[in-house]
Structure 1
Amino acid sequence: MITVGAVWLGGRVPLPLRWAAAVAATGVVAGLAGAALMGVLRLVQHLAYGLFDHGFGAAVVAADPARRVAAMAAGGLAVGLGWWALQRWTSPVREAEDVVGGPLGGRMRLRSTAADAVLQVVAVGAGASLGREGAPRQVGAAAGGWLAARCGLEAQAQRVLLACGAGAGLAAVYDVPLGGALFTLEVLLTTLAPVAVLSAVATSVIAAMVAWPFVGMGHVFTVSHLTSPTASLVVAAVVVGPLAAGVGLAFRALAGWARRLAPRGWRLPVATTLAFAVVGLVAVPLPQVLGNGRAPAELAFVGQLGLVTAVLLLVARPLATALCLGSGARGGLLTPAVALGALLGLLGAAAWSQLWPGAPASALAVVGAAAVLSVTQRAPLTATVLLLEFTGSATTLLVPVLAAVTTATATARLVGSRPSPTPP
């Protein structure tokens, strides 16, 4: 048996066995943590907006407008006080990206990271326009690094397992094992070394399987009217790509700017309460502005979102996300980016149909979502696989999704590589 410090009765445990134990344990813990966090999310959503049988978006729409404002204000106060307490009595919570990209030996404190993750899902459950994936990613990463250290692995191996835990957390809550593994390899480790690939795939698969009894199996989104790609759809995808690059770059810059404004100390709970209440007021006429973005994306994918509403959400949702981040709230940007891309694709389909019919709006919404996500995450392969796993559209939309992601990524890199103007 393996004990703390990886000492075996009668001698040292061989390195391959210690590595395998750390990989398996990381996958299991990430899966259980993801399931537990999703349980907290559902509980908060139920307390905030009541019982719902048709999804969070339907519950928000059915809720009294005053309840939307009250739920957001109460949620903002609760998470603001929580983050203020973490700032006051614990060391700063570190992001997996910073630890993996920093010096060897960097750690994520498990307790403070777990507390931060709970606050993130409480914020999303109350209706903050932030992604829920940041919380399980962080807990999975902290657990992976901690388990690797307890198994006596060297610093580089601990870094790999920390990154694998982040990908496994993503895989667990969305049932996207391949997408979780690619996130580990493309975004965090930026390597295809065999050991890293095997570890990333194993941890993500294990985490997804462990979470199945709690979060379920199947696709995150339903997409209507999926047919074989037409020439019109492929060309439309090529055209949508550069537009998605603009939206993705703007959203990424807006989020980064907002995070730098986040207050500290007693101002933090005041700011979160006010900011969340303002978003709740916006939700009185526009309820789809609440939540991580899954609801408006789903409506776009099934063709049940009006064009006027789509235009309003394309403006209101990123501003709501920036307002939440600027108040000091923490959360992911994955699903908010998917929602923006879906809205862009839906509007693009309406315009494209006047030029060349044959590109279904639902299909172009998926294409737009993948393209925007590829730019915000700086990960074209991960974005492609995630949207195909989210929607189960690999056999029908692979070519147009790749076309849009390619042109979006190329445009973003072209814009990003331009030299800054020389000051006069």
Structure 2
Amino acid sequence: MSVQPNAVPFTLAWRFWVVVLLVGVGAGLAGGLLTLLLHLVQDLAFGYHDTSFQAGVDAAPWWRRLLVPTLAGLVAGLGWWWLRGPVSRRLGPMRGVSGAVWTPDARMGLRRTVLDGLLQIVVVAMGASLGREGAPREIAAALGSRLGELTGLTDDQRRLLVACGAGAGLAAVYDVPFGGALFTLEVLLGSLALPVAIPAAVTATLGAVVAWSIVGDAAVYAVPPFPTTGAAVVFAVLAAPVCGLAAVGFVRLVTWSRGPRPTGWRLPVATTVVFAAIGALATGLPELLGNGKGPTQIVLDGDGPVLVLAALVLLKPLATVASLRAGASGGLFTPTLATGALLGALLGHGWVLLWPGSPVGAFALIGAAAFVAAALQAPLAAVVLVLELTRVGTGLLVPVTLAAVLGVLVARLVEPRSTTTAGLLEPPTPPSGRKPSLE
């Protein structure tokens, strides 16, 4: 959907801009508080303190790697059975961000979305192979929908607020204000027009700044500066098509995961069995647990045996889609980034034998950019998100941008859908038959 420019000066739509500010602040609070909850549950679940999740899982005994995910599956199944059953009958069905953006009234139930988000965070903290960004994105988007409804804004304005809230939630949880804004524009709205760019930028920036006061301002991944080399540029050209095609496979798996899912008593059974299987694999491959931040940091550091990387690049996306198909909910961004980084590092290990000159971590970053861009169908957002998450500077800007663009071009030749639109119906035509506007 492309949201059209506003014909009314911004200063006249004062109610809209008040809600824009409130959504940005709400997104920052949601992102910061949910991050604290995530860390608390992780510490309790795996018994570690003052270290990273990956280090804590690595140090945990094998039985804990099996038991915690199994319990997470039971909690997930019972929780979503309750939300999709008794709660849904009382508060109405759940609607995600993409569905709300494509729906004329853009309504998302705030109370139900908050409950769903809390459950997502708890399950991810206990080792689910899903992204933690899903919860703050959806809560902030639902806040935008609700505030827009309370203040009597138009349907088109509410749709914009839903998208801005989602981008601001992403910005808050990962400290990526520019990437969050571009996610709103390129992925959710499909427009870079000024009337949508300004509210997207305002909400994403506010979300990131407010979250700083709760969780601080630090890069998600610690990465040394990587210079651009001939080896990196040529690698980007050759690896991007491979990553693009791999992303197509991932998008199709995500489409499958959004098909018919277990209901009733089958839901907790399915999630418990799937999460227990992931936990069993994690007894020997602890990097499989969690949203993927751990293995991404490993390959950006240039570490990890090749056989382990090969196993993870196959098992990580399979664990994610199996969790979704079993009935769980969660974000896809971090697992997507992790899969791309693992694939880039795996290809990079072979490339350094042919053309030394760049560390494996640089190739992992290039692979991540190509894979994320192809999976989201959003090259600009992918480049900015990768650079903001790592704060690597502009040293790899040329190969990262080249890989993102080529990855999208190759993917679109085969698959027009993205992980955002996979499994969704075509957006309905507005009731008036006219194009959406912000008037």
**TM-score clears 0.5:** yes
Deviations 1:380-406 (A, max 9, x none): 111111001001123111101011111
Three-state SS of the structure 1 residue aligned to 2:353 is: coil
Shift of 1:175: 0.4
- 8 A contact 1:233–1:360 mirrored in 2: no
- Residues 257-336 of structure 1: pairs in structure 2 closer than 5 A: 257-336=256-335
Three-state SS of the structure 2 residue aligned to 1:331 is: coil
Shift of 1:94: 0.7
Three-state SS of the structure 1 residue aligned to 2:394 is: helix
Deviations 1:189-245 (A, max 9, x none): 111222211100000111111110222212111123x33201111010111100101
Q: How far apart, in 2, do the equivalents of 1:179 and 1:293 lie?
A: 19
- Residues 25-424 of structure 1: pairs in structure 2 closer than 5 A: 25-89=22-86, 90=88, 91-102=92-103, 104-224=104-224, 226-416=225-415
Alpha-carbon RMSD: 1.3
Which structure 1 segments of 5+ residues have no match? 1-13, 418-424
Q: What letter matches 1:32 in structure 2?
A: L
- 8 A contact 2:97–2:141 mirrored in 1: yes
Three-state SS of the structure 2 residue aligned to 1:214 is: helix
Q: What letter matches 2:295 in structure 1?
A: P
Deviations 1:354-411 (A, max 9, x none): 2222232111101101111111112111111100100112311110101111111111
Shift of 1:261: 4.3
Q: How far apart, in 1, do the equivalents of 2:165 and 2:144 lie?
A: 5
- 8 A contact 1:149–1:158 mirrored in 2: yes
Q: What letter matches 1:275 in structure 2?
A: V
Deviations 1:60-92 (A, max 9, x none): 010011011111111111121110001112122
Deviations 1:143-191 (A, max 9, x none): 0111122222211111111110000000000000000000111111111
Shift of 1:326: 1.6
Q: How far apart, in 2, do the equivalents of 1:227 and 1:62 lie?
A: 30
- 8 A contact 1:28–1:207 mirrored in 2: yes
Q: How far apart, in 2, do the equivalents of 1:407 and 1:360 lie?
A: 22
Deviations 1:101-153 (A, max 9, x none): 12x21300001111111111111111011111111110010001111222222
Q: How far apart, in 2, do the equivalents of 1:411 and 1:241 lie?
A: 8
Shift of 1:16: 2.8
Three-state SS of the structure 1 residue aligned to 2:361 is: helix
Shift of 1:45: 0.8
Change (3 A) 1:261 1:394: farther
- 8 A contact 1:87–1:265 mirrored in 2: no
Deviations 1:255-276 (A, max 9, x none): 2212314211111011111111
Q: What letter matches 1:55 in structure 2?
A: S
Partner of 1:3: none
- 8 A contact 1:176–1:386 mirrored in 2: yes
Shift of 1:308: 1.4
Q: What letter matches 2:347 in structure 1?
A: G
- Residues 2-13 of structure 1: pairs in structure 2 closer than 5 A: none
Shift of 1:412: 0.6
Q: How many residues align?
A: 402
- 8 A contact 1:72–1:128 mirrored in 2: yes
Deviations 1:337-370 (A, max 9, x none): 1111111111111111122222321111011011
Q: How far apart, in 1, do the equivalents of 2:151 and 2:193 lie?
A: 21
Three-state SS of the structure 2 residue aligned to 1:130 is: coil
- Quote the sequence identity (%): 47
Shift of 1:52: 3.0
- 8 A contact 2:373–2:405 mirrored in 1: no
Shift of 1:15: 4.2
Q: How far apart, in 2, do the equivalents of 1:155 and 1:256 lie?
A: 28
Task: Return 132-141 or 252-261, whichever deviates more.
Answer: 252-261
Q: How far apart, in 2, do the equivalents of 1:165 and 1:258 lie?
A: 25
Q: What letter matches 1:267 in structure 2?
A: R
Of residues 11, 15, 18 in structure 2, which corresponds to 1:18? Answer: 15
Q: How far apart, in 2, do the equivalents of 1:324 and 1:188 lie?
A: 24
Q: What letter matches 2:406 in structure 1?
A: T
- 8 A contact 1:262–1:327 mirrored in 2: yes
